[in-house]
Amino acid sequence: MMSHTRPGLCMHRLKFLVLLALFWGVLCNSVAQTIPFPDKPIKMIVAFTAGGTSDILAREVANQLTQRWGVSVIIENKAGAAGNLGTELVGRAPADGYTLLVTSFGPIAINPTLFKSLSVNPQKDLQPVALLAEVPTVMVVPTSINVNTMAEFLAYAKANPGKSNYGSTGIGTSPHMTGYFFSQKTNIGAIHIPYKGAEATRDLVAGRLQYMFATVPSVMQLIKSDQLKALAVSTKMRSRGLPEVPTLMETGIDIATGSWFALFAPKNTPMPIVQKLNSEVVKILELPAIKARLVAQGAEPVPMTVEEFSAFTKSEYENWAPIVRASGAKAE
């Protein structure tokens, strides 16, 4: 004999399961909201060396959070493997909001394609928290090279074939990719020399490199003190921090690219904690004094919600993946 289940009974069961799921979600959210965050020091890992743009932005945010929350926000620079070292440390950290990552777009948008395998995939193992700033890169040359314009530099490079070396803060970073585009577009046959971080800038100042694309904040003081010459910025619009410097497009070179820097947490960090971090960072970025200081250094603060920033990181990865593959750049 066939058994029959009454439609009304099925509907009651379905309603019960839906209500149970809703109750569980509310309960979990209520528990998360009662978490006393923060009640101890926060560690902010910077994926690059001290003195770079990631470090500059991290210290601005850390100082403000320390003042606002009354707990120490400690900066730890963990440079290495094109930003992967710091990324891995945070990706494996407890998902409680007390270990955060400040990094550039390279480890997030480029490295998943650049490296054959990553023990921590930033697209899957990190929680986007807040976009801190968008930053143009600027082409700088040492004062020992007697050039003052892009046209003069190209003439110099072509008159000295095989002698143009450009540095970067690591394979796959914005300075590397922009330097690669520039070499290809201008056909100067430049050789890429990757560094671990700020060492590239020191070698450029010393004249051991012929040019470099660097994030504006990391070289602003060297430009102002005439230790480096700025020939062009990489973005479509001129930098408010260097208004007198033309864009690459203005010099006749069809390149428009930049960099960005942001705050991340380990995956599965409770969303109330992520939202609280985002809210505080957005408030910090909107402070007139902070905004003016960042703009003066060449960075453009870009407040976003968690949802907006999560979508942004995904789109950046999807945009850069084919470009990285086309460049032929690879890292182990």
For the stretch 52-63, pLDDT in tens is: 889 999 999 999
Give me the CATH topology for the region 42-134+259-327: D-Maltodextrin-Binding Protein; domain 2 (3.40.190)
- Are the CB atoms for 197 and 79 separated by under 8 Å? yes
Domain spans of the chain, in order of start: 42-134+259-327, 136-258
Q: What is the pLDDT of residue 32?
A: 45
Question: From residue 35, how far is each of 58, 90, 99 by CA, in Å?
Answer: 25, 20, 16
Specify the higher pLDDT residue, 26 or 215.
215
CA diameter of the chain? 97
Average pLDDT of span 184-200: 88
Asked if 42-134+259-327 and 136-258 have one fold, the answer is yes
Flag the least confident range among 41-45, 114-118, 205-209, 287-291.
114-118
Q: Which CATH superfamily is domain 136-258 in?
A: Periplasmic binding protein-like II (3.40.190.10)
Specify the higher pLDDT residue, 228 or 329.
228
- Are the CB atoms for 90 and 100 separated by under 8 Å? yes
pLDDT averaged over every residue in the chain: 88
**Which single residue is written with the structure tokens 């968008």?**
134
Q: What sign for the dihedral angle of Cα 232, 250, 262, 184?
A: negative
Determine if the peptide bond prior to 38 is cis (ω within 30°): yes
Q: What is the pLDDT of residue 4?
A: 47
Residue 5 pLDDT more than 70?
Answer: no
CA dihedral angle for residue 121, residue 276, residue 80, residue 291, rounded to 10 degrees: 130
Question: From residue 245, how far is each of 177, 183, 208, 222, 227 by CA, in Å?
Answer: 21, 20, 24, 15, 16
